[in-house]
Structure 1
C-alpha cells in the first residue's frame, strides 16, 4: 500500500525528466496524504511543433479514486490504491485502465513496518526513496466523477504490486514504478490496451529503493516539513530481506 508520499523536486526538473509542457510553479511537499490534490502526468494530443519533448500535461486530481458510476462518493470507500494484479478486471478501475492511465511523480514514499502487537513493538515509519535520488514515476489511474448538478471532480489512485525482496520486510505491497523508457507506452491509451502494458506492473529491482527509518511525525498530516525525512536510530534493525520471488498472483481488492 502507498498511503503517504513526497514530491520535492523543482518544476523545472520535473519538466525535463517527464517531458511535461507548461508546468506551473508548485511548492515542495513532504507529506502528501489521501484526499489532498496530487500532481499527475497525462498524455497530450501530440508533440509540440519545434520541440523534442513529448506533449504531456500535468493536472491536479484528488487522491481518492471515484468511479464514474458512483452516485454518492461519501458512501463509497476511499480508493487511494489499486491492486495491479486485479485492476484490469475490477469494475471500479476497468475503464480507467483502458482510457485514463497516468503517471504520479514522487521523490519517494513512506511506509510503516507494523510488527505483531503480541510482542509489544511499536510501528516504525520509513522514508523510501530512489537510491540514486531524483524523481520516480508511480503508475496511476484517473477518473472524472460528475455529480447530479453537473459539477466535476478529477480523482486518482496509485497502482501497487507485491513488494520486492528489499521492501517486503517492511510491507508486503509497494507502488508500481514506471521507468522513463516506458512512460510513453504506459500513457498511450489509444493503441496500448491494458493487457499490453500488464508487463509494466511488476515490482521494481531490489536495489532501486533505499529505506530510511524516520520519526512518527509523518503520521500527522499537519506535519509538512523537510525534517520528516531526517533519519532516526532504530532499536531493532529490520530482518534480512527474503530473496524469494514476490507473489504476483491474483489477489483480492485491497
Structure 2
C-alpha cells in the first residue's frame, strides 16, 4: 500500500469500507471449479477499501474503489491464495478517520481475519452469473458434484 504509486496517496487520504455479508471464491476440485461462499459468522462486516474520483479524457467524472487483499487465513487458504481484508469492528473507525495517518498502525490492520469466526461452504454454480440475484446464490449445497 505504501510503496505502489497508484495506492500510496489513496492509502493516506481515501480509505473506505465496503459492507458485505459474504464473498465468493472458486475452489479448484480436480479439473472443475466449485464456487464457495465465505462469510463471517452470518453477520455483516466491512472490507478495507480505497476509493478515488477522477475525470476521464472525455470530461466524465469517474468514481472507483478497490478492496484490499492480504494472505489467506486457514478457512480461505485451500480455496484461494489471497483474501479480502475484513476489518475488525473496533478498527473500522480508525480506518475511516481521515485525520489519522500513522502508516504503520493502518498497515497493521491489513491482516487475515480470525479464521475461527469464519466459514466457507459450496454454493450453486449459478452464482457465476450476474443475472442471478436470488437467495439460491447463497444457499449451501450438499453435493457439489
Normalising by structure 1, we get a TM-score of 0.54
Closer/same/farther in 2, CA of residues 151 and 170 from structure 1, 3 Å limit: same
Find the residue that maps to 2:52 and give its secondary structure. strand
* Map of 2:31 onto structure 1: 121
Shift of residue 130, structure 1, vs aligned partner: 1.2
After TM superposition, give the deviation of residue 233 of structure 1 in Å.
2.5
Q: State how far apart, in whole Å, the 2-side matches of 1:196 and 1:213 are.
A: 36
- Name which of 44, 53, 56 aligns with 1:144: 53
What runs of 5+ residues in structure 2 fail to find an aligned partner? none
Aligned to 1:89: 3
Aligned residues: 145
Find the aligned partners of 2:75 and 2:67 in 1 and give their Cα distance. 20
Are 1:185 and 1:192, in contact at CA under 8 Å, matched by a contact in 2?
Answer: no
More strand by share: 2
Higher helix share: 2
1:59-208 equivalences under 5 Å are 87-115=1-29, 120-131=30-41, 133-208=42-117
SS at match of 2:80: coil
Note if contact 2:34-2:144 (Cα within 8 Å) is conserved in structure 1.
no
Q: Which has the larger radius of gyration?
A: 1
SS of equivalent residue, structure 1 residue 189:
coil
Distance 1:148 1:208, change over 3 A: same
TM-score (norm: length of structure 2): 0.92
